[in-house]
Amino acid sequence: MISAVLIDDERPALRELEYLLRGTGNIDVMGMYADPQKGIEAVAQLKPQAVFLDISMPQLTGMDAASMILDQCPGTHIVFVTAYDQYAVEAFELYALDYILKPVTKERLEKTLKRL
Amino acid sequence: MKKFWCALLIFITLFLCFGLSGCSKSTVKETAQALNGTMDVTDWDIESDGIISLNGPWEFYWKQFLTSSEMLDAEPDLLVQVPSTWNEYSLDGQRLPGEGYGTYRLHVKTGLLQGKILGLRIQTFSSAYRLFVDDKLVAQNGNISSTASEEVGEYKPQAVFFSAPSNEFDIIIQVSNHQYARGGFWCPVYIGSQSQIAEFSDSILMKNMFVIGAFLIVALFYIASFFLMKENKANLFFGLLCLFAIMAYDTSGQLALSKTITGISLNTVIFIWYSSCIWVEMFVLLYMNELFESRFSRIIIKVFAVVVIALQLLYTLAPTQVYTAFGRIGNYIEDFCMFSAAIIAIMGAIKRKKNGWLNLISLIILLVTVVHDTLYYTNVIKSSHGEILYVGLFAFLLIQMLIKAISIKDYYENKNTAELKFLQAQIKPHFLYNSINTFISVSRYDPDRARELMADFSEYLRKSFDFKGTGQLVLLKDELKLTQAYLNIEQARFEERVEVSFEFPENQEVMVPSCMLQPVVENAIIHGILPKPEGGRIDIRVKDRGGALRFSVKDDGVGINPQEIPHITEKYTNGVGLANISQRLSVLYGKKLRIKSEVGKGTEVSWEIPRIARKRRKSD
For residues B503-527, give the mean pLDDT. Answer: 90
pLDDT in the model for residue B412: 79
* Better-scored residue on pLDDT, B378 or B460: B460
pLDDT at B423: 67
| 3-class state of residue A59 by DSSP | coil
Chain B residues near residue A56 by CB distance under 8 angstroms: 430
**pLDDT in the model for residue B23:** 43
* Cross-chain Cβ contact B436/A56 below 8 Å: no
Q: Hey, are the CB atoms on B433 and A15 less than 8 Å from each other?
A: no
**C-alpha dist (Å) from residue B441 to A102, B438, B447, B453, B554:** 11, 5, 9, 12, 30
Tell me the C-alpha distance between B561 and B597, whole Å.
8
- B441 and A104 in contact by Cβ < 8 A? no
Grade residue B425 by pLDDT with cuts at 50, 70 and 90.
low
Query: pLDDT above 70 covers what percent of chain B?
Result: 88
The predicted structure's pLDDT at residue B568 = 76
Query: So what's the pLDDT on residue B32?
Result: 57
Instruction: State whether residue B272 is helix, strand or coil.
Output: helix
Q: Which of A9, A38, A102 has its CB closest to that of B437?
A: A102
At how many degrees (to 10) do helices B295-317 and B266-291 cross? 170
Residues sharing a CB contact under 8 Å with residue B340, sequence separation 6 or more, in sequence order: B285, B297, B300, B304
Is the ipTM, as predicted for this complex, more than 0.90? yes
Confidence of residue B469 (pLDDT cuts 50, 70, 90): low
Residue B428 pLDDT grade (very low, low, confident, very high; cuts 50, 70, 90): confident
Which among B433, B495, B533 has the least Cβ separation from residue A83? Answer: B433
**How far is it, in rounded angstroms, from Cα B363 to Cα B33?**
35
pLDDT for position A13: 94
B27-56 average pLDDT score: 76
- Interface residue of A16, A18, A106 to substitute, partner B, most B CBs within 10 Å: A16
Mean pLDDT, chain B, as a whole number?
84
Q: What is the DSSP string of B205-266?
A: HHHHHHHHHHHHHHHHHHHHHHHHSTT-HHHHHHHHHHHHHHHHHHHHTT-TTGGGSTT--H
- A12 to B531: CB separation less than 8 angstroms, yes or no: no
CB-closest option in B441, B495, B533 to A16: B441
- Is the separation of the CB atoms in B101 and B148 below 8 Å? no
- Examine the pLDDT at B573 and tell me if it is beyond 70: no
Q: What is the pLDDT of residue B268?
A: 87
Chain centre to alpha carbon of residue B335? 18
Average pLDDT on B1-13 reads: 63
- pTM here is 0.61
Tell me the per-residue pLDDT of B292-302, one tens digit each, with 9 for 90 and over. 888 898 999 99
> Mean pLDDT across the stretch B269-283?
90
Mean pLDDT, to the nearest integer, of B303-311?
92
- DSSP secondary structure letters along B27-59: T-B-----BTTEEEETT--HHHH--EE--EEEE
Number of CB pairs < 8 Å for A and B?
A: 63
pLDDT (mean) for B73-102 = 88
Of the candidates B434, B442, B531, the beta carbon closest to that of A83 is on B434
Q: Does the structure show a pLDDT above 80 at B93? A: yes
Q: Which residue has the higher pLDDT, B419 or B565?
A: B565
What confidence tens digit (pLDDT) does each residue in B598-614 have?
A: 999 999 999 998 887 66
pLDDT exceeds 80 at position A57 = yes
What's the pLDDT at B88? 86
Q: Which residues of chain A approach chain B closer than 8 Å at the C-beta?
A: 9-13, 15-16, 19, 35, 37-38, 56-59, 83-84, 101-104
Q: Burial level of B32, CB count in 10 A (0-12/13-18/19+)?
A: buried
Residues with Cβ within 8 Å of B16's Cβ and at least 6 positions away in sequence, in order, are B391, B394, B395
Of A35, A101, A104, the CB nearest to B533: A35
Phi, psi angles (nearest 5°) of residue B99: -80, 135
Interchain proximity A9–B530, CB inside 8 Å: yes
Residue B30 pLDDT more than 60? no
Cβ neighbours around B272 below 10 Å, total: 19
Average pLDDT for residues A64-73, to the nearest whole number? 91
Residue B316: is it exposed, middle or buried by C-beta count within 10 angstroms (0-12/13-18/19+)? exposed
Q: How far apart are CA B425 and CA B574, in angstroms?
A: 7
Binning pLDDT at 50, 70 and 90, where does residue B562 land? confident
